[in-house]
Amino acid sequence: MNMELSGRRKPTPEKSQLAPEDDHELEPSLGIGLNAAIVAVSDNEPVALVVRGDPDAIGATDVLPFGPFNPREHRTLESGLRAWVQSQTGLDLGYAEQLYTFADRGRHADAGVATPNIVSIGYLALTQAVGHHGLTNGLWRSWYQYFPWEDWRRGRPEIIARDIEPRLKAWAEKPALATSTQPSIARGDRARICFGLDGTAWDEEKVLERFELLYEAGLADEAVRDGRPGAAEWTDRPKLGLPMQSDHRRILATAISRTRAKIKYRPVVFELMPDEFTLYELQKTVEAILGPHLHKQNFRRLVEGAGLVEPTGEVKTRTGGRPAKLFRFRREVLLERPAPGVRVSAPPSRS
Amino acid sequence: MNMELSGRRKPTPEKSQLAPEDDHELEPSLGIGLNAAIVAVSDNEPVALVVRGDPDAIGATDVLPFGPFNPREHRTLESGLRAWVQSQTGLDLGYAEQLYTFADRGRHADAGVATPNIVSIGYLALTQAVGHHGLTNGLWRSWYQYFPWEDWRRGRPEIIARDIEPRLKAWAEKPALATSTQPSIARGDRARICFGLDGTAWDEEKVLERFELLYEAGLADEAVRDGRPGAAEWTDRPKLGLPMQSDHRRILATAISRTRAKIKYRPVVFELMPDEFTLYELQKTVEAILGPHLHKQNFRRLVEGAGLVEPTGEVKTRTGGRPAKLFRFRREVLLERPAPGVRVSAPPSRS
DNA sequence: CTAAATATGCTCTTTTCGAGCATATATGGA
DNA sequence: TCCATATATGCTCGAAAAGAGCATATTTAG
């Protein structure tokens, strides 16, 4: 929210200067967890950095790098996060922004977690796709493994029509549980809007809403794990992506939503790119994140016209065709326009 | 983030069913504070609900409704917030969304606050401008009293050229304190971009950035209170809006930023409007929030064309001219378009 | 009855967006 | 070597949206 301009930011000053280890009876940090959804694009595949869950635990699901926030050790939430990520994966975070603070939902079921966090503060970090060097732990996994229905790069993913749509339709038929306040939108409408059913347009930013809908409908593995009412009723519940521990998949969904939204009005794609790149590579990266294919010539016009990039003068050969000019991010746009970004709008991809 | 569709939302089910009062040695909620920036528009004036600070305390600054989060009492963050607002002001919150989680900055200086919160979770709530009925405590105060430089309804506010610009220019001349990582944008550029100096366009959404800049420059009262380096150096520090306790003004700034941004792509204005209204009233409300004046005819076209409203059939006379048609919010837009909002773009209001 | 104020419909121009055509320059195989 | 093919890149055209102004309708205030 407040870091659009500086990009890399907020050093960790006088580290833990005021952190004597005395007052131990008071442990105020207990209950505040920090989670990082670290995103990169590797070989046109958007990936997130995850740590394999404890293989002894049932399920052995993945987790995002996380840890408790201790204000005696870290002056800011962000520095605490950076320290945890560094210790758990060896990675030094670049760009990071806060996402959302969740009150843990499925915390009863988390036997393997040491700290019973009351709230977890999710962060989104964007970084370049460095292979595995610098990584002491953790692995990059395509975010579409957790959310296969979000991958529209090869058209509408089959899983929607085959596994999701019929079950959501069935779920919409069942009456909602009696709660004092009904949600103001009916189940059927929510399903239609979230998943672009019945001719409704697909909105690539509704990643979180879609996952929450699947969770509520008892179709996500996490819903079963948490003992959600209705989750056990499915006799033929399909596998809808890899589950994660605790509410980490929800945090990742929020991260994808935010990335997809923000890429359009802030020049954050360049956090994912190497210093020099061709416009085609840039386009492929945007498409990896957003899904639908963009018109190449218009993409060029857009990006160049907005002053987001400048040619380096070099060309990249071996592209299988005419050599492509290399470009770099023009940092000065930040000083010029109020909200520069890759203003792409998806083609009218109905259903 | 995840409540665009439902508007009013998330009932509080089985209230504190799993909250035995036994485990008392562990007090995990200590350190998590909830703050609400409750916004309405009253007589074309955007207002926030504040509680007068303790008049005995030095300064007696205003506070936003707030209180600690206790997971044993409240299942969700939001229900906890609603309870606190209800108890402190008597108001029942309608639309609410989470804003940001701050690690308290000026917490050393807060003598009057009971709970030393480590993090405070800010919420934005939008409500209709009900006079004072239903309010047991607190008062509605124009948000421009806290941020006078944000009020562009009568053109560029004088306070910028008179009080802010010269001091920020002076501050930009001084070298920044030695930190390991320099912020990647120079002070002068930040000031120019934030406050639209030297012909740079004014971006009404940068409310938080502007306040943080003033705080860093030691020009906000809170910076003095917190003993920020450099704050005491000003010999002629002007009064730049009313201060608030703790970091509440920062939270309010975040709330204004979010409101200004969101009004453009989600139909949240209608949370601020009575059930029936004229298009001119709607426009005035939007302008109260965003600042610059909009072209009336185009505003009509925009709002009607987007299907955001429908005529009630009635007219409102006594408007001082031809009677205006009354409209109401067309809730069905939520079921139709992916991201409906009052897509106004400010006129090219340079400096 | 008239001036002033507001409401509302319509047009006109400029910009932006989506889409396609045409051309340039490389690689790789016949 | 030459040609098919793939990619890069410049340019144009039409549709849609946005910005701005004119004209007319219908009130209230005096």
| Per-residue pLDDT tens over the stretch B191-222 | 999 999 998 888 999 999 999 999 999 999 99
Q: Which residue is nearest to nucleotide C24 (CA to C1')?
A: A322
Pair type for strands A139-142 and B66-68: unpaired
* Residues B98 and A101: beta-carbon distance below 8 Å: yes
Q: How far apart are CA B197 and CA B350, in angstroms?
A: 9
Query: Does the pLDDT of residue B109 top 50, yes or no?
Result: no
Residue A15 resides in a domain: no
Task: Please name the member of B103, B193, B201 whose beta carbon is closest to the beta carbon of A77.
Answer: B103
Q: How far apart are CA B49 and CA B94, in angstroms?
A: 14
Protein-to-nucleotide distance from the CA of B283 to the C1' of C6, whole angstroms: 14
pLDDT reported for residue B100? 96
pLDDT reported for residue B46? 95
Query: Does the pLDDT of residue A16 top 70, yes or no?
Result: no
Task: Please name the member of A5, A121, A339 whose beta carbon is closest to the beta carbon of B190.
Answer: A5
Q: Which residues contact A60 (CB under 8 A, 6 or more apart)?
A: A52, A53, A54
Q: Mind listing the pLDDT tens digit for each residue in A262-305?
A: 998 899 999 999 999 999 999 999 999 998 778 899 999 999 99
Number of separate domains in chain B? 3
CB contact under 8 A, B339 and A205: yes
The domain spanning residue B301 has which CATH number?
Answer: 1.10.10.10
Domain shared by A125 and A163, yes or no: no
Residue B328 resides in a domain: yes
Protein-to-nucleotide distance from the CA of A320 to the C1' of D4, whole angstroms: 13
Both tokens assigned to B298: 């185009």
**Which chain D nucleotides are covered by protein, judged by CB under 7 A?**
5-12, 18-22, 25-29
Domain shared by B119 and B256, yes or no: yes
Q: If we measure between CA atoms, which residue out of A287, A47, A42, A259 comes closest to residue A154?
A: A287
Task: Please name the member of A28, A121, A257 whose beta carbon is closest to the beta carbon of B31.
Answer: A28
Q: Mind listing the pLDDT tens digit for each residue in B17-70?
A: 333 333 333 344 457 899 999 999 998 899 999 998 665 656 678 999 988 888
Q: Which residue is nearest to nucleotide D29 (CA to C1')?
A: B320
* Angle, helix A248-262 to helix A279-290, in steps of 10 degrees: 140
Residue A27 resides in a domain: no
Domain shared by B133 and B48, yes or no: yes
Protein-to-nucleotide distance from the CA of A281 to the C1' of C23, whole angstroms: 22
**Least confident window among A60-64, A181-185, B235-239, B271-275:** A181-185
pLDDT reported for residue B40? 95
**Least confident window among A47-61, A105-119, B40-54, B179-193:** A105-119
Report CA B18 to chain centroid distance, whole Å.
35
Domain shared by A123 and A188, yes or no: no
Q: How far apart are CA A196 and CA A264, in angstroms?
A: 21
Domain shared by B271 and B202, yes or no: no
Nucleotide nearest to A324 (CA to C1'): D8
The domain spanning residue A70 has which CATH number?
Answer: 3.90.79.10
Q: How far apart are CA B156 and CA A108, in angstroms?
A: 54
Give chain B positions within 8 Å (CB) of A100. 1, 98
With cut-offs at 50, 70 and 90, classify the pLDDT of residue B105.
low
**Least confident window among A7-11, A301-305, B261-265, B288-292:** A7-11
- The position carrying tokens 């009925």 is B133
Q: If we measure between CA atoms, which residue out of A228, A205, A226 comes closest to residue A218?
A: A228
- Give percent above pLDDT 90 in chain B: 50
Average pLDDT over residues A115-131: 82
Domain shared by B138 and B40, yes or no: yes
CB contact under 8 A, B1 and A100: yes
Nucleotide nearest to B294 (CA to C1'): D19
> ∠B333-A256-B105 over CA atoms, to 5°?
100
> What is the extent of the structural domain holding A302?
273-336
Residue A133 resides in a domain: yes
Q: Mind listing the pLDDT tens digit for each residue in A205-261?
A: 999 999 999 999 999 999 999 998 889 999 999 999 999 998 999 999 999 999 999
With cut-offs at 50, 70 and 90, classify the pLDDT of residue B74.
confident
Q: Which residues contact A297 (CB under 8 A, 6 or more apart)?
A: none
Domain shared by B195 and B229, yes or no: yes
Query: Does the pLDDT of residue A29 top 60, yes or no?
Result: no
- The position carrying tokens 């909620």 is B29
Residue B25 resides in a domain: no
Mean pLDDT value across chain B: 82
Give chain B positions within 8 Å (CB) of A252. none
Average pLDDT over residues A100-116: 58
pLDDT reported for residue A294? 83
Residue B137 resides in a domain: yes
Domain shared by A111 and A160, yes or no: no
- Give percent above pLDDT 90 in chain A: 51
Q: Which residue is nearest to nucleotide D6 (CA to C1')?
A: A321
Domain shared by B168 and B57, yes or no: no
pLDDT reported for residue A345? 60
pLDDT reported for residue A62? 93
Domain shared by B255 and B117, yes or no: yes
Q: Which residues of B10-43 are buried (b: 16+ CB within 10 A; e: fewer)?
A: bebeeeeeeeeeeeeeebbbbbbbbbbbbbbbee
Average pLDDT over residues B268-292: 92
Domain shared by A111 and A162, yes or no: no
Residue A238 resides in a domain: no
- Give percent above pLDDT 70 in chain A: 78
Give chain A positions within 8 Å (CB) of B190. 5
Domain shared by B78 and B204, yes or no: no
Residue B150 resides in a domain: no
